[in-house]
């Protein structure tokens, strides 16, 4: 039997169920059948949408590079990000991936006029009164290791907080860190693959 869950992965949690010394893992928050695992990953210091399943086909369809899925990240950056920096991120920037230079694919990037409603993070980002920390939305079709953080750093605005908000039409709307929702396969596939 195949299971499908969506979770809001909390901050400072490894995207795996097996133990990691000194770190919290998904097993500290989510009680699911033993053959269920995350599809892809979110970095330890990132949070947000993660799919859990034991469906190997779904894993392949979401992770193989030939299938390009939209992923939207909400990114809080250090400093008043400029129009020029947003234009650079949109066009693509060069980052290091596995020791090689990689030009990122075109992305859709915009600054939020009003900060998005997001759960309180514990611990919060370091607040500095004189330096703004605006939010931007970044919509990517590729997922290199620590790509978003490398991209914002490359244009001079390091990432302070990173939330994966959406994969295709699947979002974490209404969810809090540590929440788990069981989702029917038909609904999940409709939102991910428009079937």
User: What count of residues does the chain have?
Assistant: 195
- Angle, alpha carbons 79-83-84 (nearest 5°): 95
Q: Determine the Cα–Cα distance for residues 189 and 130; give it in Å rounded to an integer.
A: 45
Distances (CA, A) of 158 to 7, 28, 86: 26, 29, 13
Q: Determine the Cα–Cα distance for residues 184 and 48; give it in Å rounded to an integer.
A: 20
Residue of 31, 35, 43, 115 marked active site:
43
Q: Determine the Cα–Cα distance for residues 68 and 192; give it in Å rounded to an integer.
A: 11
Q: Is 43 a catalytic residue?
A: yes
Q: Is the peptide bond before 58 cis (omega within 30 degrees of 0)?
A: no
What residues are labeled active site? 43
């Amino acid at each position: 039997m195949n299971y499908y869950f969506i979770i809001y992965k909390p901050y400072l949690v490894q995207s795996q169920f097996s133990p990691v010394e000194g770190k919290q893992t998904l097993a500290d928050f989510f009680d699911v059948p033993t053959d269920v695992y995350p599809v892809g990953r979110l970095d330890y210091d990132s949070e947000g949408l993660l799919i859990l399943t034991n469906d190997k086909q779904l894993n392949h369809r979401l992770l193989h590079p030939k299938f390009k899925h939209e992923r939207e990240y909400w990114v809080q950056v250090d400093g008043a990000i400029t129009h020029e920096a947003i234009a650079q991120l949109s066009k693509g920037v060069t980052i290091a991936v596995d020791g090689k230079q990689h030009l990122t694919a075109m992305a859709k990037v915009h600054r939020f006029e009003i900060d998005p409603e997001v759960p309180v993070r514990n611990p919060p980002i370091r607040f500095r009164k004189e330096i703004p920390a605006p939010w931007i939305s970044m919509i990517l079709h590729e997922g290199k290791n620590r790509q978003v953080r490398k991209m914002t750093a490359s244009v001079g605005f390091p990432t302070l907080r990173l939330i994966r908000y959406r994969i295709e039409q699947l979002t974490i709307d209404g969810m809090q860190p540590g929440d788990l929702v069981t989702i029917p396969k038909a609904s999940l596939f409709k939102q991910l693959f428009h079937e």
